[in-house]
Amino acid sequence: MAKPTPQRLHLVFGGELVTPSRTEFKNVDDIHIVGMFPNYASAYAAWKAEAQRTVDDAHTRYFIAHLHRLRDEELEVSTTEELGG
Protein backbone atom coordinates (compact mmCIF):
# COMPACT_ATOMS: atom_id res chain seq x y z
CA MET A 1 0.00 0.00 0.00
CA ALA A 2 1.41 3.36 -1.02
CA LYS A 3 2.13 5.94 1.65
CA PRO A 4 -0.36 8.86 1.38
CA THR A 5 1.03 12.16 0.21
CA PRO A 6 0.85 14.75 3.00
CA GLN A 7 -1.27 17.82 2.44
CA ARG A 8 0.63 21.04 1.85
CA LEU A 9 -1.77 23.52 3.41
CA HIS A 10 -1.17 27.25 3.06
CA LEU A 11 -2.94 30.13 4.81
CA VAL A 12 -3.19 33.54 3.13
CA PHE A 13 -3.81 36.49 5.45
CA GLY A 14 -3.00 40.16 5.79
CA GLY A 15 -3.95 43.53 7.10
CA GLU A 16 -2.75 46.93 8.15
CA LEU A 17 0.74 47.10 9.63
CA VAL A 18 1.96 49.52 12.28
CA THR A 19 4.69 50.59 9.86
CA PRO A 20 5.59 49.23 6.41
CA SER A 21 9.12 48.42 7.61
CA ARG A 22 7.91 45.82 10.15
CA THR A 23 5.50 42.88 10.10
CA GLU A 24 3.54 43.90 13.19
CA PHE A 25 -0.19 44.26 12.63
CA LYS A 26 -1.85 47.47 13.79
CA ASN A 27 -4.93 45.60 15.06
CA VAL A 28 -4.88 41.79 15.23
CA ASP A 29 -8.70 41.74 15.39
CA ASP A 30 -8.79 43.26 11.89
CA ILE A 31 -6.55 40.69 10.18
CA HIS A 32 -8.14 39.62 6.90
CA ILE A 33 -8.11 35.83 6.52
CA VAL A 34 -8.23 35.25 2.77
CA GLY A 35 -8.38 31.48 3.10
CA MET A 36 -6.76 28.10 3.34
CA PHE A 37 -5.31 26.58 0.17
CA PRO A 38 -4.24 23.03 -0.69
CA ASN A 39 -1.06 24.02 -2.54
CA TYR A 40 1.35 26.89 -2.97
CA ALA A 41 0.17 27.79 -6.48
CA SER A 42 -3.41 28.48 -5.40
CA ALA A 43 -2.22 30.29 -2.26
CA TYR A 44 0.12 32.43 -4.36
CA ALA A 45 -2.71 33.34 -6.74
CA ALA A 46 -4.90 34.43 -3.80
CA TRP A 47 -2.02 36.34 -2.21
CA LYS A 48 -1.23 38.10 -5.48
CA ALA A 49 -4.86 39.14 -5.99
CA GLU A 50 -5.05 40.67 -2.49
CA ALA A 51 -1.63 42.31 -2.80
CA GLN A 52 -2.60 43.89 -6.12
CA ARG A 53 -5.97 45.01 -4.74
CA THR A 54 -4.21 46.87 -1.89
CA VAL A 55 -1.12 48.02 -3.79
CA ASP A 56 -1.84 51.70 -3.14
CA ASP A 57 -1.87 51.22 0.64
CA ALA A 58 1.73 50.92 1.84
CA HIS A 59 0.59 49.89 5.33
CA THR A 60 -1.40 46.87 4.12
CA ARG A 61 0.45 43.66 3.47
CA TYR A 62 -0.48 40.04 2.80
CA PHE A 63 1.40 36.86 3.69
CA ILE A 64 1.43 33.16 2.89
CA ALA A 65 1.91 30.87 5.88
CA HIS A 66 3.14 27.38 5.08
CA LEU A 67 1.01 25.48 7.59
CA HIS A 68 2.38 22.12 6.56
CA ARG A 69 5.75 23.20 7.96
CA LEU A 70 4.27 23.67 11.43
CA ARG A 71 3.51 19.99 11.86
CA ASP A 72 5.35 17.04 10.44
CA GLU A 73 3.34 13.85 10.78
CA GLU A 74 6.53 11.78 10.69
CA LEU A 75 7.91 13.33 13.90
CA GLU A 76 6.90 12.36 17.40
CA VAL A 77 4.63 14.83 19.16
CA SER A 78 6.19 17.59 21.19
CA THR A 79 5.86 17.72 24.96
CA THR A 80 3.30 20.53 24.67
CA GLU A 81 1.10 18.39 22.40
CA GLU A 82 1.32 15.59 24.95
CA LEU A 83 0.11 17.96 27.69
CA GLY A 84 -2.97 18.85 25.60
CA GLY A 85 -3.99 15.21 25.37
Domain for residue 79, yes or no?
no
Domain for residue 78, yes or no?
no
Residue-number span of the structural domain to which 24 is assigned: 10-73
Residue 85 has pLDDT above 70, yes or no: no
Domain for residue 19, yes or no?
yes
CATH number for 64: 3.30.70.2400
**CA 58 – CA 10 distance, rounded (Å):** 24
Domain for residue 22, yes or no?
yes
Question: How high is the pLDDT of residue 73?
Answer: 58
Tell me how many domains the chain contains: 1
Domain for residue 80, yes or no?
no
The answer to whether residues 6 and 68 touch, using CB atoms and an 8 Å cutoff, is yes
pTM reported for the whole predicted model = 0.75
pLDDT in tens, 2-58: 777 767 899 999 999 999 999 999 999 999 999 999 999 999 999 999 999 999 999
Domain for residue 52, yes or no?
yes
